[in-house]
Amino acid sequence: MMTPARFFICLITLLAAFFTAASAGAKPQYPALRDHFDPALQKELEWTLAHTGLADAVKRKQIGLALVDITDPLHPRTAAVNGDKMFYAASLPKIAILLGAFVEIEKGGMRLDPATRFTLTKMIRVSSNQAASEMLSRVGEERVADILQSPRYKLYDPSVNGGLWCGKLYGKAPAWRRDPLHNYSHGATAMQVAKFYYMLETEQLVSPPLTRQMKQILSHPGIHHKFVKGLERSYPGAAIYRKSGSWRHWHSDSALVEHNGHKYVIVGLTEHNDGGKWLEKIAAPLHDLVVPRRPTGRLTTASSALTAPPAERSRLELARPVRDRVRVGIF
């Protein structure tokens, strides 16, 4: 016969096992990126932009940027300039169509068959307008708008000046619905696009299996310019999940980057003829703010950076991690 003491011990053991299992099965509570701005990363971002000649563009609000270190997804480090400024984003909002399709696939309203996968991949990797319009029509323009504004995602949120918006087929057809705040047919803010990639990586957009499928479609960019060109030249081993956009003088790019055990999101939106070149130029320096450089055979010392001719000194300064520039007084 079980004694009261033994019964009590068994009860405590069962309760501990239950709560341990419940805790193990619970989804992590990921924070809002806006609650995790990092002062050090912010200072490094602003320094890098100033030393790549973009301080005036920042001041004139011709560029919006977000850089988020999500190596530890429970403790992201966020930095941004003009992060909530809405820009015309051309083809970048095709990621909204991608999300809409996968939400419908998760619900069972659409099948991820080979033809659908091919169309989605063509829409993202080579930015096919025909494929984008086909998928937007299949999902439904109103459905995509509802998903972007839904409480689950809030990727377009008036309380933060808008965000990701896709209210028009990619072609000559008139806009179905322009964004409510700024009247853009295809628009974005850097912070809300960064939120998209963070939610993707933390499996908050769709289920884990479908998240892997989305990342596969976003991988292996077919157009090698802007962030991709800048990163491939300096870091050919980096994995890049990306969507960009360009039309007239609006140039944008966005990516989730994985390299040497680190992960980060980078988003750039510009309104300038040289915007694409700006994004290419800053890709590697911003990468260095998150991913530490591994030692090479080339010596880049504080004294060499401080005593070199001005042009060489600038190159050496940017070659050093910002934390080292702060330490030796180059900052």
pLDDT, tens digit, 9 for 90 and up, residues 137-166: 999 999 999 999 999 999 999 999 999 999
Backbone angles phi, psi at 93, to 5 degrees: -65, 5
Quote the tokens at residue 135.
């998928």
pLDDT at 2: 53
Measured distance CA(54)–CA(268) in Å, rounded: 12
Q: What is the pLDDT along the chain (331 residues), one digit of tens a residue?
A: 556 555 445 445 544 444 443 444 577 999 999 999 999 999 999 999 999 999 999 999 999 999 999 999 999 999 999 999 999 999 999 999 999 999 999 999 999 999 999 999 999 999 999 999 999 999 999 999 999 999 999 999 999 999 999 999 999 989 999 999 999 999 999 999 999 999 999 999 999 999 999 999 999 999 999 999 999 999 999 999 999 999 999 999 999 999 999 999 999 999 999 999 999 999 999 999 999 987 654 433 333 333 333 444 444 454 444 444 433 332 2
Quote the tokens at residue 173.
């057809």
* Domain edges within the chain: 33-41+62-292
Q: To which residue do tokens 């341990």 refer?
A: 20
pLDDT at 26: 73
Q: Lay out the sheet containing 165-166: strands in order across.
A: 87-88, 186-188, 165-166
What secondary structure letter does DSSP report for 159? Answer: G
pLDDT at 307: 30
Contacts 24+ apart (CB under 8 A), 288-294: 288/321, 288/322, 289/41, 289/44, 289/45, 289/48, 289/67, 289/321, 289/322, 290/67, 290/69, 290/71, 290/262, 290/264, 291/235, 291/259, 291/260, 291/262, 291/264, 292/260, 292/321, 293/319, 293/321, 294/260
Q: To which residue do tokens 């109103």 refer?
A: 142
> Which CATH architecture describes the domain 33-41+62-292?
3-Layer(aba) Sandwich (3.40)
3-state secondary structure 23-91: HHHCCCCCCCHHHCECHHHHHHHHHHHHCCCCHHHHHCCCEEEEEEECCCCCCCEEEEECCCCCEECCC
